[in-house]
Amino acid sequence: MLNNLINRAICKIFNCYDSDTVKDVKYFLDVCDIRTLYENRRLAFLRKISLVDNIVLQTVLMCSS
């Protein structure tokens, strides 16, 4: 749903309504899908938290995966 809003905003800002053109604009502006953004941030968080020495956090990490 949020991706649709972003796509519509790009259409209105750049006055382009072709899906291929919208994809190109998103590529050149480095605007990724919300799902990709979420996954990248989640992986970065998990990488950083795995470096922590706290035993409680390590236990929680082991149980959640």
* Cα(2)–Cα(23) distance, integer angstroms: 15
The CA–CA distances, whole Å, from 11 to 2, 5, 25, 41 equal 14, 10, 9, 27
Look at residue 65 in the predicted model and tell me its pLDDT: 60
Model pLDDT, residue 63: 78
| Separation CA 11–CA 13 (nearest Å) | 6
Confidence at residue 64, expressed as pLDDT on a 0 to 100 scale: 67
Question: What pLDDT was estimated at residue 18?
Answer: 92
Structural domain boundaries in the chain: 1-31, 34-65
H helices of the chain, in order, are: 2-14, 19-28, 34-50, 55-64
Give this prediction's pTM: 0.62
pLDDT of residue 40: 93
12-64 pLDDT, tens digit each: 999 998 999 999 999 999 998 899 999 999 999 888 887 878 777 777 777 76
